[in-house]
Homo-oligomer: A and B are copies of this chain.
Amino acid sequence: MNSTIETILSHRSVRKFTNQALTKEQIDTIVHSAQMAATSNYIQAYSIIGVNDRNKKSKLAQLSGNQAYVLESGHFFVFCADLHRHQLVAEMEESVITESIESSEKFIVAVVDTALAAQNATIAAESMGLGICYIGGIRNEIEGVSELLELPEYVIPLFGLTVGYPDEETSIKPRLPKEAVYHEDAYQSDLAMTEQLDQYDEVVSNYYYERTNGKRAERWTEQMSNMLSNPTRMNIKSFLEKKGFAKR
């Protein structure tokens, strides 16, 4: 196993950091790494906002559900799907691209481009000994985050990424059995999947039990069922459309 794969397989989310800030050089390397991810037809449909301003960071932590590790980390990045740049391109080239950039197809393109870039940033950071945590919580108050960062039309904040020096030991969470995720030639049967989920439930339950000295032991299906029974962020669709995304 090479060191890159070792880095990838050692991933765990870090939610407690020392207060050591990232250097400009580290930030540059992380952004450069993000930019080198593959991009659909060279479109590069994302932007990254680096938040230095302490007041803004504090406000973002609050908008994300009072997650202290947004404020106390080495650096905080907000990854945005971005087709605004292309709107400027259309002005420069005197072309009309509205139908295209407002399509669900281009929304997928922008979200995928953004996530590929973010995962490159993550792996680069982790290879330097830093820890990370993705912050989907910025979608709790997506409109407020968008205003705070002055995002124009055709730009939406997708998720945050806190990066810094880990100040806690965390463990690797067991993933679904390979067979439940990787199918050969066709999607597998519900019967096979259900059996795999039963086995996985035992693994996850044991994981929590051991980690919490018996205080928690919930199964994965139980956790998912509880989470998904409670719909959240139901305003996203109207926000997307307001910003020009996935309208058709």
Query: Once the chains are docked, how many angstroms separate the CA of A122 from the CA of B176?
Result: 20
A56, A90, A109, A127 interface centre (most CB from chain B within 10 Å): A127
- Is A35 an interface residue when CB atoms closer than 8 A count as contact? yes
- Is A32 an interface residue when CB atoms closer than 8 A count as contact? yes
Within 8 A of B (CB), among A202-248: 220-234, 236-237, 240, 246, 248
Query: Once the chains are docked, how many angstroms separate the CA of A9 from the CA of B193?
Result: 38
Q: A92-B221, A112-B159, A193-B88 are in contact. Are A184 and B52 (CB under 8 A)?
A: yes
- Is A108 an interface residue when CB atoms closer than 8 A count as contact? yes
Within 8 A of B (CB), among A86-113: 86, 88-90, 92-93, 95-97, 99-101, 103-106, 108-109, 111-112
Give chain B residues whose Cβ lies under 8 Å from the Cβ of A100.
228-232
Copies in the complex: 2
Q: Which 9 A-B pairs have the closest CB atoms?
A: A115-B115, A4-B127, A93-B225, A119-B119, A97-B228, A105-B233, A104-B237, A150-B186, A100-B231
Can you pick out 15 interface pairs between chain A and chain B where the beta carbons lie within 8 Å of each other? A4-B127, A8-B33, A28-B178, A36-B172, A43-B224, A84-B187, A85-B176, A88-B190, A88-B193, A89-B197, A90-B225, A93-B224, A95-B228, A100-B230, A104-B237
